[in-house]
Structure 1
Amino acid sequence: MKLNQIILSKDGVRDCSICGGVGFYLEEIVSGSTSGALILCNCVIEYCYNCQSKGKPPFLTYEESLDKMIPCFCHSARVNLKNIERLIQKSNIPHRYKFKFLNSIDTRQEETDTISLLVAYDWADELVKKWQQTVPGNNSRMKEKKGMYLWGGTGSGKTLLACVILNELIFRYGTNCRYAKINKDFLNALKDTYQKDSDFHGQERFIEEEFTNVDVLVIDDFGVHRESDWVNEKLYDLIDSRYERKKITLLTSNSSLNDWKGKWNGRIFSRLNEMTIPLQLECSDYRLKFS
């Protein structure tokens, strides 16, 4: 994957055949890693040999004519690389889907599989490409931007597509994103705050705010949780809070959105219906093809 296709800033040597001018590149095959790694390009590093900073933080050099410290050649590339690595780490994207982008998705499936995948792919592409689009005469982001409710059978590519969107937004725009499995990463984390011997005791509000405020949230395996009044209340509060703050939410589920109509007086369905686009994926075990 050439990162210059999705990263606009050019902090390396513009005509570099390795990084395309970005200053760093994605090495997809790395020993001991299932996801690859971001590597600072030699076109940047070679400047460090003759620079006062010698490639060490804070990557500044003294400019005598200005009588002050200024960023050395490698500064911007190093800062941008570290920022993306930090956002990826915070996002909690599973290693399997880390550094996967829209062009990682193979849409050349059997004809019966292709239509639903292409429709979902187009919606994902539009969300990513128009993320920072503004309304004419208005400095705010494009109105009526919606998330997605991706549903279908096991292995149909729901989680892959959701994580691809996170990767794209992080690399393109430096967006704060978060991936969470509904039980392990959200509900169980809240329950853990009730345990006196837990490191997270008493931090329920902090966890709820973290999930509420992140710019883009993926809730994976929505619907596999065991229902109770407490669970439904926590889910509704999260979804409603994100709705009120106009945050983008992507959900994956084995169940149709319509299945929520008759649950909890339809309150969760009503909110999700307003803030997401329901998209069914009918691919036959996409994980096997993706592997």
Structure 2
Amino acid sequence: MAGRPSSTSDAMQSVGDYLARVSTGPFPEAVRQVREFAPQYGRCEEHGEWQMNMLDEQGVERWLPDGCPKCKRQQKARSLIRRADIAPRFQSCSFDNYRTESDSQAHALNVCREYAATFRDQLTAGRCMILRGNPGTGKNHLSTAIMLQILNAGFSALRVKAASYLDEYWAKDFGERERWIVDMANVDLLVIDEIGRAPNTRAANDAFFRLIDERYEKLRPTIIVSNLDREELRGTLGAAAYDRLTEGGGRLLNFDWQSARAHRPT
């Protein structure tokens, strides 16, 4: 048959000819780089070795930015935490140091831990949470633990106290207020804390709806933290804002056990 090698030696010669053609073909530089590539490593005192170079999908050697990548991620997380406005008292909060003494507490812990672990999915769905119940039951602890975990994963988060938000909202002129709302609506996770009864319910409804609706349209999750019962909270936020928070699988967690502060030694 024409073109078919007649022996093993002929076959080997054909393979050799093919490789010779490949090595002088249109991509000899990529072939040479694959053959000559040797990974180089830097060393971090805290995290050990890290690779400084790699081959891209075309087989071309690329050098990574200088510095330990784990250190850079930690620095970014610390910067995000500073901007998230988490009070120093709560910066050590985690799921591991949240104490549970009842099934209800364990359930709240598991739901919040799962929310943080799957935050990318929560962000895609724009899924919100409401943590409401008695003072001293760990609402701030768990909401902060969620924030810290997602901040360390590279997401953005911000905590704002409800009273401070309302004061700023009413103090700004229309244009400044709209820019401010848009900025807060772009944060991956917003925690609105200490929502209590508002002296001007109608005005508070409008202010909360403006922010929650902007985040709702952008599929940005919001966590509400409050000591109010469900109907009081709905009244303060307004029915429209409350419904947006609970739509699409939004969770309501009731912290209805006794305050842990009452049992602390004095």
- Answer yes or no: same fold by TM over 0.5: yes
Partner of 2:34 in structure 1? none
SS of structure 1 residue aligned to 2:211: helix
CA offsets per residue over residues 219-276 of structure 1, 9 Å max, x none? 0012343234332111111111211211111111111223355668732332233263
Query: Which residue matches 2:133?
Result: 152
Q: Which amino acid aligns with 2:240?
A: R
Which residue number in structure 2 is paired with residue 180 of structure 1? 160
Alignment match, 2:168 = 189
Percentage of matched positions with identical amino acids: 21
Match in the other structure for 2:260: 286
RMSD: 3.4
Q: Is residue 149–residue 257 contact of structure 1 (8 Å, CA) maintained in 2? A: no
Residue 116 (1) aligns with residue 98 (2): no
Question: Which residue among 156, 159, 184 is the counterpart of 1:211?
Answer: 184
Q: Which amino acid aligns with 2:168?
A: A
The residue aligned with 1:256 is 229
Q: 1:169 matched to which residue of 2?
A: 150
2:213 aligned to 228, 240, 259, which one? 240
Instruction: State the AA in 2 paired with 1:211.
Output: M
Alignment of 1:32-51 (within 5 A): 42-43=45-46
Among 76, 79, 94, the alignment partner of 1:83 is: 76
Instruction: Mark the CA change 1:160 to 1:121 in structure 2 (over 3 Å): closer, same or farther.
Output: same
CA distance in 2 between counterparts of 1:86 and 1:259 reads: 36
What is the distance in 2 between the residues matched to 1:43 and 1:262? 51
Shift of 1:84: 0.7
Contact 1:232 1:264 in 2 (8 A): yes
Report the Cα distance in structure 2 between the residues aligned to 1:157 and 1:237, rounded to whole angstroms. Answer: 28
- Measure how far apart 1:210 and its partner are: 1.9
Q: Which runs of 5+ in 1 are unaligned?
A: 1-10, 14-22, 24-41, 48-59, 61-65, 135-139, 195-200
Q: Which residue of 2 aligns with 1:31?
A: none
Residue type matched to 1:178 in 2?
L
Q: Which residue of 2 aligns with 1:16?
A: none
TM-score of the aligned structures, taking structure 2 as reference length: 0.69
Count of aligned residue pairs for this structure pair: 216
Deviations 1:107-139 (A, max 9, x none): 1x2xxxx122112111111111222359xxxxx
- Deviation at 1:214? 0.9
Alpha-carbon shift at residue 12 of structure 1 (Å): 9.4
Which residue number in structure 2 is paired with residue 54 of structure 1?
A: none
The structure in which a higher percent of residues are helix is 2
Provide the secondary structure at the position in 2 that maps to 1:156.
coil
Q: Does structure 1 retain, via aligned residues, the 8 Å contact 2:131–2:139?
A: yes
Structure 1 distance, partners of 2:163, 2:112, is 25
* Alpha-carbon distance in 2 for matches of 1:193, 1:105: 38
Alpha-carbon deviation of 1:70? Answer: 5.8
CA distance in 2 between counterparts of 1:92 and 1:211 reads: 13
Secondary structure in structure 1 of the residue aligned to 2:198: coil
Q: Write the distance in 2 (CA, Å) between the matches of 1:264 and 1:242.
A: 14
Matches within 5 A, 1:63-78: 71-72=65-66, 74-78=67-71
